[in-house]
Chains A and B, each alone.
Chain A
Amino acid sequence: MTMLLDLITGYWWDARDLSNMTRPLYEFLRDQGVSDAGIFVISALLGTLAIISFVGAVAIINIWVERRVVGRMQSRLGPNRLGPFGLLQPIADAIKLMQKEVLQPASAPGWIYTVAPIAFTVPGIAILAVIPWGRNMVLANLDVGLLYILGLSSLAVLSVFMAGYSSNNKYSLFGAMRVIAMLVSYEIPIVAGLLGIVLFAGSMNLQEIVLFQEEHWAFMIMLQPLAFLIYFFSISAELNRTPADIAEAESEIVGGYHTEYSGMKFGLFYAAELINAVAVSAIIATLFLGGWWTYKLDEFIPGWMLLIGKIYGVYFIFVWTRGTLPRFRIDQLLAFAWKWLTPMALINVIVVAAEVLLWNETGWSDWFWIPAIIAINTALCVGLIVFFVKVFAPKFQRFPTRPRFYPGIDVPSLPAVTPPDFARKGGPA
Protein backbone atom coordinates (compact mmCIF):
# COMPACT_ATOMS: atom_id res chain seq x y z
CA MET A 1 0.00 0.00 0.00
CA THR A 2 2.72 2.47 0.90
CA MET A 3 4.49 1.64 -2.38
CA LEU A 4 1.34 2.50 -4.28
CA LEU A 5 1.01 5.73 -2.33
CA ASP A 6 4.65 6.63 -3.06
CA LEU A 7 3.83 6.28 -6.74
CA ILE A 8 1.43 9.22 -6.65
CA THR A 9 2.49 11.33 -3.65
CA GLY A 10 4.01 14.62 -4.74
CA TYR A 11 3.16 14.33 -8.44
CA TRP A 12 0.56 16.25 -10.39
CA TRP A 13 -1.53 13.13 -11.00
CA ASP A 14 -2.19 12.80 -7.26
CA ALA A 15 -5.99 12.97 -7.56
CA ARG A 16 -6.52 12.92 -3.81
CA ASP A 17 -6.35 16.69 -4.03
CA LEU A 18 -7.18 18.23 -7.38
CA SER A 19 -5.16 21.34 -6.56
CA ASN A 20 -2.11 19.14 -7.30
CA MET A 21 -3.24 19.27 -10.92
CA THR A 22 -4.04 22.96 -11.13
CA ARG A 23 -0.92 24.22 -9.31
CA PRO A 24 1.52 23.23 -12.12
CA LEU A 25 -0.84 24.90 -14.58
CA TYR A 26 -0.77 28.16 -12.63
CA GLU A 27 3.04 27.99 -12.33
CA PHE A 28 3.29 27.43 -16.07
CA LEU A 29 1.01 30.40 -16.74
CA ARG A 30 3.01 32.58 -14.37
CA ASP A 31 6.20 31.64 -16.25
CA GLN A 32 4.46 32.71 -19.47
CA GLY A 33 3.98 36.18 -17.98
CA VAL A 34 0.29 35.99 -17.02
CA SER A 35 -0.46 38.46 -14.23
CA ASP A 36 -1.81 37.46 -10.80
CA ALA A 37 -5.23 38.87 -11.69
CA GLY A 38 -5.35 36.67 -14.78
CA ILE A 39 -4.43 33.60 -12.74
CA PHE A 40 -7.11 34.51 -10.19
CA VAL A 41 -9.72 34.72 -12.93
CA ILE A 42 -8.59 31.40 -14.45
CA SER A 43 -8.61 29.60 -11.10
CA ALA A 44 -12.04 31.01 -10.21
CA LEU A 45 -13.38 29.98 -13.62
CA LEU A 46 -12.00 26.45 -13.30
CA GLY A 47 -13.58 25.98 -9.88
CA THR A 48 -16.85 27.49 -11.02
CA LEU A 49 -17.01 25.27 -14.09
CA ALA A 50 -16.30 22.20 -11.97
CA ILE A 51 -19.16 23.05 -9.61
CA ILE A 52 -21.55 23.99 -12.43
CA SER A 53 -20.86 20.72 -14.25
CA PHE A 54 -21.41 18.84 -10.97
CA VAL A 55 -24.73 20.63 -10.56
CA GLY A 56 -25.76 19.86 -14.14
CA ALA A 57 -24.89 16.20 -13.79
CA VAL A 58 -26.70 16.01 -10.46
CA ALA A 59 -29.84 17.65 -11.82
CA ILE A 60 -29.97 15.09 -14.66
CA ILE A 61 -29.01 12.00 -12.63
CA ASN A 62 -31.16 12.71 -9.60
CA ILE A 63 -34.39 12.81 -11.59
CA TRP A 64 -33.73 9.17 -12.37
CA VAL A 65 -32.42 8.31 -8.86
CA GLU A 66 -35.35 9.91 -7.10
CA ARG A 67 -38.07 8.32 -9.26
CA ARG A 68 -36.38 4.94 -9.37
CA VAL A 69 -35.67 4.69 -5.63
CA VAL A 70 -39.11 5.95 -4.59
CA GLY A 71 -40.62 3.54 -7.10
CA ARG A 72 -38.75 0.61 -5.60
CA MET A 73 -39.75 1.66 -2.08
CA GLN A 74 -43.41 1.73 -3.10
CA SER A 75 -43.22 -1.65 -4.91
CA ARG A 76 -43.30 -0.07 -8.35
CA LEU A 77 -40.75 -0.34 -11.12
CA GLY A 78 -40.08 3.33 -11.74
CA PRO A 79 -38.89 4.53 -15.16
CA ASN A 80 -37.54 1.49 -17.03
CA ARG A 81 -38.25 1.96 -20.74
CA LEU A 82 -35.73 4.42 -22.15
CA GLY A 83 -32.23 3.04 -22.25
CA PRO A 84 -30.79 0.51 -19.81
CA PHE A 85 -32.73 0.67 -16.50
CA GLY A 86 -34.52 3.76 -17.81
CA LEU A 87 -31.35 5.82 -17.54
CA LEU A 88 -32.28 8.03 -20.49
CA GLN A 89 -35.58 9.07 -18.91
CA PRO A 90 -34.28 12.47 -17.64
CA ILE A 91 -33.08 13.42 -21.12
CA ALA A 92 -36.45 12.54 -22.62
CA ASP A 93 -38.12 14.57 -19.87
CA ALA A 94 -35.92 17.56 -20.65
CA ILE A 95 -36.66 17.37 -24.39
CA LYS A 96 -40.37 17.07 -23.71
CA LEU A 97 -40.42 20.03 -21.32
CA MET A 98 -38.31 22.11 -23.70
CA GLN A 99 -40.63 21.77 -26.68
CA LYS A 100 -43.89 22.04 -24.76
CA GLU A 101 -46.16 24.98 -25.43
CA VAL A 102 -45.62 27.82 -22.97
CA LEU A 103 -48.84 28.54 -21.10
CA GLN A 104 -48.76 31.79 -19.22
CA PRO A 105 -52.11 32.95 -17.83
CA ALA A 106 -53.31 36.09 -19.59
CA SER A 107 -54.21 37.62 -16.23
CA ALA A 108 -50.71 37.00 -14.86
CA PRO A 109 -48.52 39.28 -16.92
CA GLY A 110 -45.21 40.65 -15.82
CA TRP A 111 -41.61 39.65 -15.50
CA ILE A 112 -41.87 38.38 -11.92
CA TYR A 113 -43.62 35.26 -13.23
CA THR A 114 -40.58 34.48 -15.39
CA VAL A 115 -37.94 35.50 -12.85
CA ALA A 116 -39.36 33.33 -10.03
CA PRO A 117 -38.08 29.91 -11.27
CA ILE A 118 -34.66 31.41 -12.01
CA ALA A 119 -34.49 32.96 -8.55
CA PHE A 120 -35.50 29.61 -7.10
CA THR A 121 -32.55 27.84 -8.78
CA VAL A 122 -29.78 30.31 -7.95
CA PRO A 123 -29.36 29.81 -4.15
CA GLY A 124 -28.98 26.04 -4.39
CA ILE A 125 -26.07 26.40 -6.81
CA ALA A 126 -24.47 29.37 -5.06
CA ILE A 127 -24.41 27.50 -1.73
CA LEU A 128 -21.94 24.99 -3.20
CA ALA A 129 -19.29 27.73 -3.46
CA VAL A 130 -18.29 27.40 0.19
CA ILE A 131 -18.37 23.60 0.46
CA PRO A 132 -14.78 22.30 0.93
CA TRP A 133 -14.06 19.35 -1.35
CA GLY A 134 -10.55 18.70 -0.06
CA ARG A 135 -7.75 20.19 2.00
CA ASN A 136 -7.00 22.81 -0.66
CA MET A 137 -10.12 22.36 -2.75
CA VAL A 138 -12.60 25.05 -1.87
CA LEU A 139 -13.87 27.63 -4.32
CA ALA A 140 -14.51 30.43 -1.82
CA ASN A 141 -12.98 29.96 1.63
CA LEU A 142 -15.25 32.48 3.33
CA ASP A 143 -14.88 33.15 7.05
CA VAL A 144 -18.64 33.70 7.18
CA GLY A 145 -19.39 30.52 5.23
CA LEU A 146 -22.19 29.34 7.50
CA LEU A 147 -23.83 32.77 7.44
CA TYR A 148 -23.56 32.76 3.63
CA ILE A 149 -25.35 29.40 3.55
CA LEU A 150 -28.10 30.49 5.94
CA GLY A 151 -28.64 33.74 4.08
CA LEU A 152 -28.85 32.12 0.67
CA SER A 153 -31.10 29.28 1.77
CA SER A 154 -33.62 31.73 3.23
CA LEU A 155 -33.90 33.37 -0.21
CA ALA A 156 -36.18 30.49 -1.24
CA VAL A 157 -39.00 32.26 0.62
CA LEU A 158 -38.82 35.21 -1.75
CA SER A 159 -38.83 33.21 -4.97
CA VAL A 160 -41.71 31.02 -3.80
CA PHE A 161 -43.74 34.09 -2.94
CA MET A 162 -42.86 35.66 -6.30
CA ALA A 163 -44.17 32.53 -8.04
CA GLY A 164 -47.31 32.25 -5.94
CA TYR A 165 -48.32 35.89 -5.99
CA SER A 166 -47.56 36.62 -9.64
CA SER A 167 -49.51 33.58 -10.90
CA ASN A 168 -52.77 35.28 -9.93
CA ASN A 169 -54.19 31.90 -8.95
CA LYS A 170 -55.82 31.23 -5.60
CA TYR A 171 -54.21 27.81 -5.21
CA SER A 172 -50.82 29.36 -5.92
CA LEU A 173 -51.40 32.05 -3.33
CA PHE A 174 -52.47 29.47 -0.74
CA GLY A 175 -49.40 27.39 -1.49
CA ALA A 176 -47.08 30.37 -1.32
CA MET A 177 -48.52 31.62 1.96
CA ARG A 178 -48.28 28.17 3.51
CA VAL A 179 -44.68 27.85 2.40
CA ILE A 180 -43.79 31.22 3.83
CA ALA A 181 -45.37 30.44 7.20
CA MET A 182 -43.53 27.11 7.22
CA LEU A 183 -40.14 28.33 6.01
CA VAL A 184 -40.17 31.25 8.38
CA SER A 185 -41.01 28.96 11.30
CA TYR A 186 -38.36 26.37 10.47
CA GLU A 187 -35.70 29.05 9.97
CA ILE A 188 -35.44 29.44 13.76
CA PRO A 189 -34.56 25.82 14.69
CA ILE A 190 -32.07 25.71 11.81
CA VAL A 191 -30.27 28.85 12.94
CA ALA A 192 -30.34 27.91 16.62
CA GLY A 193 -29.32 24.32 15.92
CA LEU A 194 -26.25 25.25 13.89
CA LEU A 195 -25.17 27.59 16.68
CA GLY A 196 -23.87 24.57 18.60
CA ILE A 197 -21.46 23.73 15.79
CA VAL A 198 -20.16 27.29 15.65
CA LEU A 199 -19.61 27.16 19.42
CA PHE A 200 -17.54 23.99 19.13
CA ALA A 201 -15.49 25.02 16.11
CA GLY A 202 -15.19 28.67 17.12
CA SER A 203 -15.57 29.66 13.48
CA MET A 204 -18.15 29.96 10.75
CA ASN A 205 -15.63 28.89 8.12
CA LEU A 206 -16.67 25.49 6.74
CA GLN A 207 -13.07 24.41 6.17
CA GLU A 208 -12.30 25.21 9.82
CA ILE A 209 -15.29 23.14 10.92
CA VAL A 210 -13.99 20.16 8.92
CA LEU A 211 -10.51 20.69 10.36
CA PHE A 212 -12.01 20.79 13.87
CA GLN A 213 -13.53 17.36 13.26
CA GLU A 214 -10.20 16.10 11.94
CA GLU A 215 -8.28 17.51 14.89
CA HIS A 216 -10.58 15.97 17.49
CA TRP A 217 -11.07 12.73 15.59
CA ALA A 218 -14.84 12.82 15.84
CA PHE A 219 -17.67 13.57 13.44
CA MET A 220 -19.85 16.46 14.52
CA ILE A 221 -22.88 14.16 14.47
CA MET A 222 -21.43 12.39 17.52
CA LEU A 223 -20.86 15.66 19.37
CA GLN A 224 -24.17 17.15 18.26
CA PRO A 225 -26.76 14.42 17.63
CA LEU A 226 -29.65 16.68 18.66
CA ALA A 227 -28.54 19.46 16.32
CA PHE A 228 -28.31 16.92 13.51
CA LEU A 229 -31.86 15.71 14.08
CA ILE A 230 -33.20 19.26 14.37
CA TYR A 231 -31.37 20.34 11.23
CA PHE A 232 -32.47 17.28 9.29
CA PHE A 233 -36.17 17.67 10.11
CA SER A 234 -36.15 21.42 9.61
CA ILE A 235 -34.31 21.32 6.32
CA SER A 236 -36.58 18.66 4.92
CA ALA A 237 -39.40 21.12 5.64
CA GLU A 238 -37.43 23.89 3.92
CA LEU A 239 -37.01 21.63 0.89
CA ASN A 240 -40.79 21.02 0.67
CA ARG A 241 -40.18 17.29 0.76
CA THR A 242 -42.81 14.83 1.70
CA PRO A 243 -43.21 14.86 5.45
CA ALA A 244 -43.72 18.60 5.00
CA ASP A 245 -44.86 19.07 1.41
CA ILE A 246 -47.95 21.11 2.29
CA ALA A 247 -46.77 23.66 -0.29
CA GLU A 248 -47.70 21.45 -3.21
CA ALA A 249 -50.13 19.07 -1.56
CA GLU A 250 -51.80 17.65 -4.67
CA SER A 251 -54.94 16.50 -2.90
CA GLU A 252 -55.54 19.90 -1.28
CA ILE A 253 -54.27 22.75 -3.44
CA VAL A 254 -53.53 21.20 -6.87
CA GLY A 255 -49.85 22.09 -7.29
CA GLY A 256 -49.31 24.91 -4.84
CA TYR A 257 -47.17 27.78 -5.99
CA HIS A 258 -46.29 26.20 -9.34
CA THR A 259 -49.84 25.37 -10.44
CA GLU A 260 -49.68 27.87 -13.30
CA TYR A 261 -46.22 26.91 -14.49
CA SER A 262 -45.61 24.63 -17.43
CA GLY A 263 -42.84 23.74 -19.85
CA MET A 264 -39.28 24.60 -18.97
CA LYS A 265 -40.27 26.99 -16.18
CA PHE A 266 -41.91 24.12 -14.34
CA GLY A 267 -38.87 22.00 -15.19
CA LEU A 268 -36.67 24.56 -13.48
CA PHE A 269 -38.74 24.32 -10.31
CA TYR A 270 -38.39 20.56 -10.47
CA ALA A 271 -34.64 20.63 -11.13
CA ALA A 272 -34.08 23.29 -8.48
CA GLU A 273 -35.71 21.08 -5.86
CA LEU A 274 -33.26 18.30 -6.69
CA ILE A 275 -30.29 20.71 -6.73
CA ASN A 276 -31.37 22.15 -3.39
CA ALA A 277 -31.66 18.65 -1.95
CA VAL A 278 -28.09 17.89 -3.04
CA ALA A 279 -26.80 21.23 -1.76
CA VAL A 280 -28.41 20.58 1.61
CA SER A 281 -26.99 17.04 1.66
CA ALA A 282 -23.58 18.58 0.99
CA ILE A 283 -24.05 20.94 3.94
CA ILE A 284 -25.07 18.06 6.22
CA ALA A 285 -22.14 15.94 5.00
CA THR A 286 -19.71 18.80 5.64
CA LEU A 287 -21.02 20.02 8.97
CA PHE A 288 -21.99 16.73 10.59
CA LEU A 289 -20.28 13.89 8.74
CA GLY A 290 -16.75 15.21 8.44
CA GLY A 291 -16.84 16.51 4.87
CA TRP A 292 -13.85 15.27 2.93
CA TRP A 293 -12.20 13.92 6.10
CA THR A 294 -13.02 10.30 7.06
CA TYR A 295 -10.54 9.11 9.67
CA LYS A 296 -7.63 7.55 7.72
CA LEU A 297 -9.70 6.72 4.67
CA ASP A 298 -9.10 10.02 2.91
CA GLU A 299 -5.41 9.17 2.52
CA PHE A 300 -6.28 6.35 0.11
CA ILE A 301 -9.52 7.48 -1.49
CA PRO A 302 -9.78 11.08 -2.75
CA GLY A 303 -11.63 13.23 -0.20
CA TRP A 304 -13.96 14.71 -2.82
CA MET A 305 -15.11 11.22 -3.80
CA LEU A 306 -15.81 10.46 -0.14
CA LEU A 307 -17.74 13.70 0.11
CA ILE A 308 -19.84 12.82 -2.94
CA GLY A 309 -20.47 9.40 -1.38
CA LYS A 310 -21.62 11.05 1.85
CA ILE A 311 -23.79 13.51 -0.09
CA TYR A 312 -25.57 10.64 -1.79
CA GLY A 313 -25.88 8.77 1.52
CA VAL A 314 -27.69 11.74 3.06
CA TYR A 315 -29.70 12.24 -0.13
CA PHE A 316 -30.83 8.62 0.09
CA ILE A 317 -32.25 9.31 3.55
CA PHE A 318 -34.16 12.29 2.11
CA VAL A 319 -35.58 10.05 -0.62
CA TRP A 320 -36.36 7.41 1.98
CA THR A 321 -38.44 9.82 4.07
CA ARG A 322 -40.20 10.95 0.91
CA GLY A 323 -41.02 7.39 -0.05
CA THR A 324 -42.37 6.28 3.30
CA LEU A 325 -43.82 9.11 5.39
CA PRO A 326 -47.30 10.65 5.03
CA ARG A 327 -47.92 14.38 4.95
CA PHE A 328 -48.36 16.51 8.07
CA ARG A 329 -51.14 19.03 8.47
CA ILE A 330 -50.02 22.66 8.56
CA ASP A 331 -50.99 23.17 12.21
CA GLN A 332 -49.00 20.09 13.19
CA LEU A 333 -45.99 21.32 11.22
CA LEU A 334 -45.98 24.79 12.73
CA ALA A 335 -46.56 23.44 16.24
CA PHE A 336 -43.66 21.04 15.70
CA ALA A 337 -41.35 23.89 14.73
CA TRP A 338 -42.36 26.30 17.48
CA LYS A 339 -43.19 24.03 20.41
CA TRP A 340 -40.68 21.23 19.92
CA LEU A 341 -37.70 22.15 17.80
CA THR A 342 -37.15 25.74 18.92
CA PRO A 343 -36.92 25.10 22.70
CA MET A 344 -34.86 21.96 22.04
CA ALA A 345 -32.41 23.93 19.92
CA LEU A 346 -32.09 26.69 22.51
CA ILE A 347 -31.51 24.20 25.35
CA ASN A 348 -28.92 22.51 23.15
CA VAL A 349 -27.09 25.83 22.69
CA ILE A 350 -26.96 26.45 26.44
CA VAL A 351 -25.65 22.93 27.16
CA VAL A 352 -23.00 23.20 24.46
CA ALA A 353 -21.92 26.60 25.75
CA ALA A 354 -21.49 25.13 29.25
CA GLU A 355 -19.49 22.21 27.87
CA VAL A 356 -17.17 24.41 25.81
CA LEU A 357 -16.68 26.67 28.82
CA LEU A 358 -15.72 23.76 31.10
CA TRP A 359 -13.52 22.28 28.38
CA ASN A 360 -11.54 25.50 28.12
CA GLU A 361 -11.48 26.42 31.80
CA THR A 362 -10.50 23.05 33.32
CA GLY A 363 -7.72 22.44 30.82
CA TRP A 364 -8.17 18.67 30.96
CA SER A 365 -7.15 16.74 27.88
CA ASP A 366 -9.33 16.07 24.85
CA TRP A 367 -9.16 12.36 25.63
CA PHE A 368 -11.44 13.04 28.60
CA TRP A 369 -13.65 15.74 27.13
CA ILE A 370 -14.52 14.35 23.70
CA PRO A 371 -16.02 11.05 25.01
CA ALA A 372 -17.63 12.93 27.89
CA ILE A 373 -19.28 15.43 25.55
CA ILE A 374 -20.41 12.63 23.22
CA ALA A 375 -22.00 10.81 26.18
CA ILE A 376 -23.64 13.94 27.62
CA ASN A 377 -25.04 15.13 24.30
CA THR A 378 -26.37 11.71 23.31
CA ALA A 379 -28.09 11.43 26.69
CA LEU A 380 -29.44 14.98 26.26
CA CYS A 381 -30.77 14.14 22.80
CA VAL A 382 -32.57 10.99 23.93
CA GLY A 383 -33.75 12.59 27.18
CA LEU A 384 -35.18 15.71 25.56
CA ILE A 385 -36.99 13.76 22.87
CA VAL A 386 -38.53 11.36 25.41
CA PHE A 387 -39.45 14.27 27.69
CA PHE A 388 -41.14 16.22 24.91
CA VAL A 389 -43.03 13.16 23.73
CA LYS A 390 -44.25 12.38 27.27
CA VAL A 391 -45.27 15.93 28.09
CA PHE A 392 -46.57 17.44 24.89
CA ALA A 393 -47.99 14.59 22.84
CA PRO A 394 -51.81 14.69 22.80
CA LYS A 395 -53.37 11.99 24.93
CA PHE A 396 -54.51 9.01 22.92
CA GLN A 397 -58.28 8.75 22.64
CA ARG A 398 -59.87 5.84 20.90
CA PHE A 399 -63.16 7.73 20.64
CA PRO A 400 -62.45 11.46 20.54
CA THR A 401 -65.06 13.48 22.37
CA ARG A 402 -63.93 16.97 21.33
CA PRO A 403 -61.67 18.59 18.71
CA ARG A 404 -58.15 18.12 19.95
CA PHE A 405 -56.46 21.31 18.86
CA TYR A 406 -58.82 23.86 20.32
CA PRO A 407 -59.78 23.05 23.89
CA GLY A 408 -62.05 26.11 24.12
CA ILE A 409 -64.87 24.56 22.10
CA ASP A 410 -67.08 22.24 24.14
CA VAL A 411 -68.59 19.46 22.11
CA PRO A 412 -71.05 17.24 23.94
CA SER A 413 -69.90 13.65 24.09
CA LEU A 414 -71.46 11.26 21.64
CA PRO A 415 -73.97 9.08 23.45
CA ALA A 416 -74.66 6.68 20.59
CA VAL A 417 -71.13 5.23 20.58
CA THR A 418 -70.42 2.50 23.06
CA PRO A 419 -66.88 1.15 22.96
CA PRO A 420 -66.86 -2.50 21.87
CA ASP A 421 -65.20 -4.95 24.22
CA PHE A 422 -61.84 -5.60 22.56
CA ALA A 423 -60.53 -7.55 25.51
CA ARG A 424 -62.98 -10.38 24.99
CA LYS A 425 -61.63 -13.52 23.45
CA GLY A 426 -62.21 -13.90 19.73
CA GLY A 427 -61.66 -10.25 18.85
CA PRO A 428 -64.23 -7.48 18.35
CA ALA A 429 -67.85 -8.45 18.08
Chain B
Amino acid sequence: MIDQFGRAGFLLVFAVIFPLIPIVASVALGLFKIRPSKPDPIKDSIYECGMVPIGDAQVRYNVRYYVFGLLFVVFDVEAVFLYPWAVAYVGLGVYAFFEALIFMAILFIGYAYAWRKGAMEWL
Protein backbone atom coordinates (compact mmCIF):
# COMPACT_ATOMS: atom_id res chain seq x y z
CA MET B 1 0.00 0.00 0.00
CA ILE B 2 2.82 2.43 0.87
CA ASP B 3 4.24 2.10 -2.66
CA GLN B 4 0.88 3.24 -4.06
CA PHE B 5 1.12 6.36 -1.91
CA GLY B 6 4.64 6.79 -3.28
CA ARG B 7 3.25 6.82 -6.82
CA ALA B 8 0.65 9.42 -5.81
CA GLY B 9 3.52 11.40 -4.28
CA PHE B 10 5.37 11.31 -7.62
CA LEU B 11 2.34 12.86 -9.31
CA LEU B 12 2.08 15.44 -6.52
CA VAL B 13 5.68 16.55 -7.15
CA PHE B 14 5.00 16.89 -10.87
CA ALA B 15 1.72 18.67 -10.14
CA VAL B 16 3.70 21.33 -8.29
CA ILE B 17 6.30 21.57 -11.08
CA PHE B 18 3.63 21.89 -13.79
CA PRO B 19 2.29 25.35 -12.75
CA LEU B 20 5.80 26.50 -11.83
CA ILE B 21 6.96 26.20 -15.45
CA PRO B 22 4.89 29.12 -16.87
CA ILE B 23 5.67 31.27 -13.81
CA VAL B 24 9.41 30.66 -14.19
CA ALA B 25 9.16 31.22 -17.94
CA SER B 26 7.41 34.52 -17.31
CA VAL B 27 10.14 35.60 -14.87
CA ALA B 28 12.83 34.53 -17.36
CA LEU B 29 11.19 36.61 -20.10
CA GLY B 30 11.34 39.55 -17.71
CA LEU B 31 15.06 38.99 -17.12
CA PHE B 32 15.75 38.92 -20.88
CA LYS B 33 13.79 42.18 -21.35
CA ILE B 34 11.31 40.48 -23.68
CA ARG B 35 8.49 41.26 -21.29
CA PRO B 36 7.95 44.97 -20.50
CA SER B 37 8.30 46.16 -16.93
CA LYS B 38 7.51 49.83 -16.39
CA PRO B 39 6.05 50.21 -12.91
CA ASP B 40 4.30 53.41 -11.92
CA PRO B 41 2.27 54.26 -8.79
CA ILE B 42 -1.12 54.24 -10.54
CA LYS B 43 -0.42 50.87 -12.17
CA ASP B 44 0.73 49.38 -8.91
CA SER B 45 -2.30 50.54 -6.96
CA ILE B 46 -5.33 48.39 -6.29
CA TYR B 47 -8.11 48.21 -8.85
CA GLU B 48 -11.25 49.80 -7.47
CA CYS B 49 -13.17 51.04 -10.50
CA GLY B 50 -11.13 54.21 -10.82
CA MET B 51 -11.40 55.35 -7.21
CA VAL B 52 -8.40 55.77 -4.95
CA PRO B 53 -8.88 52.92 -2.47
CA ILE B 54 -9.51 54.00 1.11
CA GLY B 55 -8.11 51.85 3.87
CA ASP B 56 -6.96 48.28 3.96
CA ALA B 57 -8.93 45.30 2.66
CA GLN B 58 -7.51 42.86 5.19
CA VAL B 59 -10.17 43.71 7.73
CA ARG B 60 -12.72 41.90 9.87
CA TYR B 61 -15.65 40.47 7.98
CA ASN B 62 -19.26 39.60 8.56
CA VAL B 63 -20.30 37.14 11.26
CA ARG B 64 -22.70 35.23 8.98
CA TYR B 65 -19.75 33.44 7.38
CA TYR B 66 -18.90 32.12 10.84
CA VAL B 67 -22.35 30.51 11.22
CA PHE B 68 -21.93 28.61 7.95
CA GLY B 69 -18.45 27.54 9.00
CA LEU B 70 -19.84 26.18 12.25
CA LEU B 71 -22.61 24.25 10.47
CA PHE B 72 -20.02 22.85 8.06
CA VAL B 73 -17.87 21.54 10.90
CA VAL B 74 -20.86 19.77 12.47
CA PHE B 75 -21.79 17.98 9.25
CA ASP B 76 -18.21 17.24 8.23
CA VAL B 77 -17.50 15.48 11.51
CA GLU B 78 -20.64 13.44 10.83
CA ALA B 79 -19.16 12.46 7.45
CA VAL B 80 -15.92 11.43 9.13
CA PHE B 81 -17.93 8.98 11.24
CA LEU B 82 -20.07 7.72 8.38
CA TYR B 83 -17.32 6.85 5.85
CA PRO B 84 -15.70 4.06 7.92
CA TRP B 85 -19.22 2.87 8.73
CA ALA B 86 -20.06 2.67 5.01
CA VAL B 87 -16.90 0.71 4.17
CA ALA B 88 -17.45 -1.86 6.93
CA TYR B 89 -21.24 -1.91 6.53
CA VAL B 90 -21.74 -5.24 4.72
CA GLY B 91 -19.93 -7.26 7.37
CA LEU B 92 -21.66 -5.64 10.34
CA GLY B 93 -25.23 -6.80 9.78
CA VAL B 94 -28.52 -5.43 11.07
CA TYR B 95 -27.30 -3.56 14.12
CA ALA B 96 -25.05 -1.25 12.05
CA PHE B 97 -28.11 -0.06 10.16
CA PHE B 98 -30.07 0.86 13.29
CA GLU B 99 -27.00 2.38 14.87
CA ALA B 100 -26.61 4.69 11.89
CA LEU B 101 -30.35 5.39 11.97
CA ILE B 102 -30.11 6.63 15.57
CA PHE B 103 -27.02 8.65 14.67
CA MET B 104 -28.85 10.26 11.74
CA ALA B 105 -31.94 10.92 13.88
CA ILE B 106 -29.85 12.88 16.39
CA LEU B 107 -28.26 14.72 13.49
CA PHE B 108 -31.67 15.56 12.03
CA ILE B 109 -32.79 17.03 15.35
CA GLY B 110 -29.79 19.35 15.31
CA TYR B 111 -30.43 20.13 11.66
CA ALA B 112 -34.08 21.02 12.30
CA TYR B 113 -33.02 23.20 15.25
CA ALA B 114 -30.49 25.06 13.10
CA TRP B 115 -33.11 25.56 10.39
CA ARG B 116 -35.71 26.82 12.89
CA LYS B 117 -33.21 29.24 14.42
CA GLY B 118 -32.52 30.68 10.97
CA ALA B 119 -28.88 29.58 10.76
CA MET B 120 -29.40 28.70 7.10
CA GLU B 121 -30.74 32.10 6.08
CA TRP B 122 -28.41 34.51 4.32
CA LEU B 123 -29.38 37.92 5.61
Contacts and interface: CB of A to CB of B under 8 A. Distances in A.
A422 to B, nearest CB: 34
Nearest to B6: A44
Contacts of A56: 18
B65 A180 contact: yes
Interface in A37-79: 40, 43-45, 47-49, 51-52, 55-56
B107 interface: yes
- Residue among B23, B53, B93, B108 having the largest count of chain A Cβ atoms under 10 Å: B23
Interface stretch (A196-204, A281-289, A301-309, A379-387): A196-204
B30 to A, nearest CB: 7
Interface string A244-257: 00000000001000
Nearest to A106: B44
B68 to A, nearest CB: 5
A129 B44 contact: no
Contacts of B61: 173, 177
Given A40-B6, A139-B8, A101 B41 contact: no
Contacts of B58: 165, 168, 173
A350 interface: yes
A50 to B, nearest CB: 10
A129 B11 contact: yes
A346 B11 contact: no
A263 B26 contact: yes
Contact of B11 (A51, A254, A334, A339): A51
Interface string A268-281: 10001000000000
Interface of B: 1, 3-8, 10-12, 14-16, 18-20, 22-23, 25-26, 29-30, 34-38, 41, 43-49, 53, 56-59, 61-62, 64-65, 68-69, 71-72, 75-76, 79, 82-83, 86-87, 89-90, 93-94, 97, 100-101, 104, 107-108, 111, 115, 120-123
A117 B46 CA distance: 18
Contacts of B37: 101-102
Q: Main secondary structure on chain A at its contact with chain B?
A: helix
Given A55-B18, A118-B20, A140-B11, 4 more contacts: A97-B22, A260-B46, A268-B19, A272-B19
- Residue among B41, B46, B97 having the largest count of chain A Cβ atoms under 10 Å: B46
A78 B100 CA distance: 52
A265 B123 CA distance: 34
Contact of A99 (B5, B34, B43, B111): B34
A142 B1 CA distance: 7
Interface stretch (A25-33, A84-92, A352-360): A352-360
A279 B101 CA distance: 34
A117 to B, nearest CB: 7
Contacts of A125: 11, 14-15, 18
Contact of A334 (B12, B46, B68, B107): B68
A173 B15 contact: no
B82 A360 contact: no
A321 interface: no
A405 interface: yes
Contact of B120 (A44, A335, A406): A335
A140 B69 contact: no
A187 interface: yes
A49 B13 CA distance: 11
A106 B36 CA distance: 17
B83 A264 contact: no
Nearest to B23: A264
Given A141-B4, A177-B65, A335-B120, A198 B87 contact: yes
A282 to B, nearest CB: 14
A105 interface: yes
